[in-house]
């Protein structure tokens, strides 16, 4: 599938097809960050390299967002509806993201994969953000 929309924030993605997030790795101590950083938060090293993050991980923790986020969030047609958010453990780094699932599908340790989430850019044009969805059994 080819994605023809624009990312909400281009710097968050290494690629859209397939979807992969762009992180960074410190050449001095190996610390991985997301989003990508220009210096290391652990050792303050300046030799930070681009690092493509894995597209699969596990739910580290999660909750349901029951209030409308501040702008630039745009509620879907019909108004705000609560949604799952959490931290996904990608092995080297935790990533905060929306979880595209019903709460009964989620549990700590559940396998998830990176997906593109349809969104509307600040200019009103179609865009995509990142989210994680449960991995189907056998996939």
Cα–Cα distance between 98 and 115 in angstroms, integer? Answer: 10
Q: Please give the structure tokens belonging to residue 18.
A: 């397939």
Residues in the chain: 139
Cα–Cα distance between 75 and 78 in angstroms, integer? Answer: 8
Report pLDDT digits (tens) over 80-128.
999 999 999 999 999 999 999 999 999 999 999 999 998 877 777 888 9
Domain ranges of the chain: 10-134
Q: Is the pTM of this model over 0.85?
A: yes
Cα–Cα distance between 7 and 25 in angstroms, integer? Answer: 22
The whole-chain average pLDDT of the chain stands at 91
Q: Please give the structure tokens belonging to residue 92.
A: 């080297």
């Amino acid at each position: 599938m080819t994605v023809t929309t624009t990312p909400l924030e281009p710097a968050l993605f290494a690629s859209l097809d397939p979807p992969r997030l762009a992180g960074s790795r410190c050449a001095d101590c190996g610390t991985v960050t997301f989003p990508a950083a220009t210096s290391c938060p652990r050792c303050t090293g300046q030799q930070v390299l681009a690092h493509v993050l894995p597209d699969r991980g596990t739910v580290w923790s999660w909750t349901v967002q029951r209030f409308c986020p501040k702008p630039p969030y745009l509620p879907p047609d019909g108004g705000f509806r609560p949604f799952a958010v959490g931290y996904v453990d990608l092995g080297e780094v935790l990533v905060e993201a929306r979880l595209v699932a019903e709460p009964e599908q989620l549990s700590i340790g559940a396998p998830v994969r990176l997906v593109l989430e349809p969104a509307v850019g600040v200019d009103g044009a179609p865009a995509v953000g990142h989210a994680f969805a449960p991995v189907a059994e056998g996939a």
